[in-house]
Amino acid sequence: MKKSLICVSCPLGCPIEVEIENGEVVAVTGNTCKRGDAYARAEITNPVRSLTTSVKVENGMYAVVPVKSSGPVPKDKMFDCMKKINAVTVKAPVKIGDVVIENILDLGVDIIATNCDPGI
């Protein structure tokens, strides 16, 4: 079985063909870098995405501060992660790289701040 994908690893968006036999990836073509190969294999077996959103700040200059997942999370866990993140409040000051949630949902991924808020 063949499956066509668009690689989302970088803005190039290479069209990739994946050949699958008995649920196993046997060939990946069309990618122009190693990341494309990895993306295609993951997309068939365990699709993942990096997650970006924001988290509530207390005493902040802003109401929310942006965050991202330190690595990709399973696609089907994105809304579960959102629920968890939306329940959290961080206290200003916040710096870029601060860990907001450690090992979210035991996925082995942290949620980290991607902007600073010096606080009021």
Q: In degrees to the nearest 10, what's the CA dihedral of 65, 93, 105, 46? A: 50
Distance in angstroms (rounded) separating the CA atoms of residues 50 and 111: 10
Give me 24's structure tokens.
């196993």
Taking alpha carbons only, the member of 117, 118, 115, 2 closest to residue 53 is 115
> Segment 19-78, which members bind other proteins (CB under 8 A)?
49-56, 62-64, 66, 68, 75, 78
Q: Establish if 96 lies at the interface with other proteins (CB under 8 A).
A: yes
Q: Establish if 111 lies at the interface with other proteins (CB under 8 A).
A: no
Nearest CB to other proteins, comparing residues 103 and 115: 115
Q: Establish if 79 lies at the interface with other proteins (CB under 8 A).
A: yes
Q: In degrees to the nearest 10, what's the CA dihedral of 47, 10, 78, 53? A: 170
Nearest CB to other proteins, comparing residues 4 and 22: 4
Q: Establish if 107 lies at the interface with other proteins (CB under 8 A).
A: no
Q: Which residues bind other proteins (CB under 8 A)?
A: 5-13, 49-56, 62-64, 66, 68, 75, 78-79, 82, 85-86, 96, 114-116
